[in-house]
Amino acid sequence: MLHPLPPGGPVRREDDFLRHADVGPRRVGKSLRLLISSGELSLNRPGASGWVTDQGLWLLSKRGVDAIREQPTKEGHDGLPTDSRRIFEIMAEGRLLDLDDARKAVWCYRVQSDDWKPDTTFTMLRFPLDVIWDDTDAVPLYDGAVIMESGESGNGNAEDGSRPRVSRQPQQISRSSRRRIHGKR
């Protein structure tokens, strides 16, 4: 059976890939889980790709999105958008990541531990833990802190050149915070 072309012209590969509402988010979520379980995206150490706190997985935005985009290609799949902003939209539409108060995907945070205190503010994406892990209570938390910056990072621009907007409420999430929340010492 022949189907007419859509009014906008021929279907692009990434439009075809995303034609069904949940195909894109499912593929992106699967890629993220595979990347973490394989160790391609390292966690909870100096120089890692991400850090796990009570609030979620904080993943370096550029490194994470690049890896998510490349992972299906390694398995022979194509059609995932090349534009990072479109991947952010897919993740937001599929509720795979948390947005800030301004409904933006990119957050500016500092990461530190007792033996690692970089002078860098990182642009990150925040994923709810249950998007990646079935048993969120068994997920090892970062033994340091992820701290929201009161100012913008570097030149104030995200990797795509846009200015990230973040909630300015100061907060610090650490392993000791989780113990207090859950009544453990």
pLDDT tens per residue, range 124-152 = 999 999 999 999 999 999 999 999 986 44
Q: Which residue(s) pair with 147 in the sheet?
A: 110, 172
pTM above 0.85, yes or no: no
Q: What is the mean pLDDT of residues 46-66?
A: 95
Give the per-residue pLDDT at 146: 94
Residues 6+ away with beta carbon under 8 Å from 56: 98, 126, 127, 128, 129
Inter-CA distances, 167 with 49, 118, 148, 164, 185, Å: 22, 22, 8, 10, 30
pLDDT over 90, % of the chain: 44
CA distance 110 to 97: 19
Do 158 and 130 contact (CB within 8 A), yes or no?
A: no
Handedness of CA 65, 145, 99, 25 (dihedral sign): positive
